[in-house]
Structures are given as C-alpha cells and as structure tokens.
Amino acid sequence: MESDQDKGDSRQCDDDTEHDQGALDDLQRIVLEASPSSEEIRNWTPKSGDRVQLMTGAFARVVEVWPEGVVVLEHEGTYIREMVPPGALALVILHIVDSQP
C-alpha cells in the first residue's frame, strides 16, 4: 500500500516533469522564432520542385502541396516521402536551397 509520503513524492515528480517539459517547449519556441532559417520558411510558399535542406542535413524536393497545407517531401537518394503538416515546416526544414518561380 502506498503511503502519504509516497503519494506526495509522486505528485512532486509529476509537477517537476510538467515544469521541465514546459521549459523545453518554451526554449524550442524561442530558438525557432529567432532562427534566420525559420524566418525564411515562414515567408516561403512551397511549390512542387522546390529543393530544401532538412534539419537532419539531408536534402529533399517538394513533390506535392495539398490544399489543406500539407507538404509532401521526397528525400534525395532514398526517395522516401515525408508528409509535413501545416505549421510544422520550420521543425523539419532547415533551409530552402532552390525555389521554383
């Protein structure tokens, strides 16, 4: 049976975890907002054929842009396709290498 002390320790641990996660989320937001590449991506309208460098260092091409805002990337070399939901481009793309007119 769990004692009152154990319950208190468990609640404290949960509070600490939530606090730590909140701090990490805030830090990630600050870094992304301050990033010059994030600014570039916010002002970019993806088009089929655009070439981008990913956060992993790999390169990919935009192969589709859905009306809902989903961007489908095809990784160079592996041809793996990745779907990026609206609002998540700055988490996946580091830099726009070549944008189609």
Per-residue pLDDT tens over the stretch 32-73 = 555 556 788 888 999 999 999 999 999 999 999 999 999 999
Q: Is the pLDDT of residue 92 over 90?
A: yes
| CATH code of the domain containing 41 | 2.40.10
Q: Which domain holds residue 74?
A: 36-98
Binned at pLDDT 50, 70 and 90, residue 24 comes out as confident
The β-bridge partners of 52 are 60, 96
Residue 71: what pLDDT?
98
The single residue listed with the structure tokens 């592996």 is 78
Q: How many domains does the chain have?
A: 1
CB distance 60 to 54 below 8 Å: yes
Instruction: Establish if 10 belongs to a structural domain.
Output: no
Check: CB of residue 81 under 8 Å from CB of residue 63.
yes
The answer on pLDDT for 29 being more than 70 is no
